[in-house]
Structure 1
């Protein structure tokens, strides 16, 4: 049981815009994809669009059989 699948689609960007996103992603220790998603969420929030918090996959080792969460 993990996070729901993400919607994939091609996105064409101006090379200068992509380079700027790459720089900000690196400074925030994110991938370009995660940075674009973060920027889109921030822009929508500024416009008053409410979104549910993203479902993040659990990290770490899976529990062994019989262990409690």
Structure 2
């Protein structure tokens, strides 16, 4: 089952705030986008807002389709 698409929207940040998020993301081995999402989830959780856990996306190559003919056969 595919993960639902994420909502994209423009976000304007103060350059100093962006730099701080960028440093924090690098320390956590995340992208800036993933770090912003993580920080927002943490802030909402502290305020008592209940969220479902994020949908984990599968990583790596998709499994080989067994119904396909091997390479070179048609």
Matched pairs, number: 66
Q: Distance in 2 between matches of 1:11 and 1:61?
A: 32
Per the TM alignment, residue 64 of structure 1 is displaced from its structure 2 partner at its CA by 3.0
Alignment of 1:41-60 (within 5 A): 41-60=41-60
Structure number with larger C-alpha Rg: 2
Query: Could you list the runs of 5+ residues in structure 2 that have no partner in the other structure?
Result: 67-74
RMSD over aligned CA atoms reads 1.1
- Aligned residue for 2:27? 27
Per the TM alignment, residue 56 of structure 1 is displaced from its structure 2 partner at its CA by 1.3
Normalised to the residue count of structure 2, the TM-score between the two structures is: 0.82
Q: Distance in 2 between matches of 1:60 and 1:13?
A: 32
Higher relative contact order (CA 8 A, sep 6+): 1
Normalised to the residue count of structure 1, the TM-score between the two structures is: 0.87
Q: Structure 1: which 4+ aligned runs deviate by more than 6 Å?
A: none
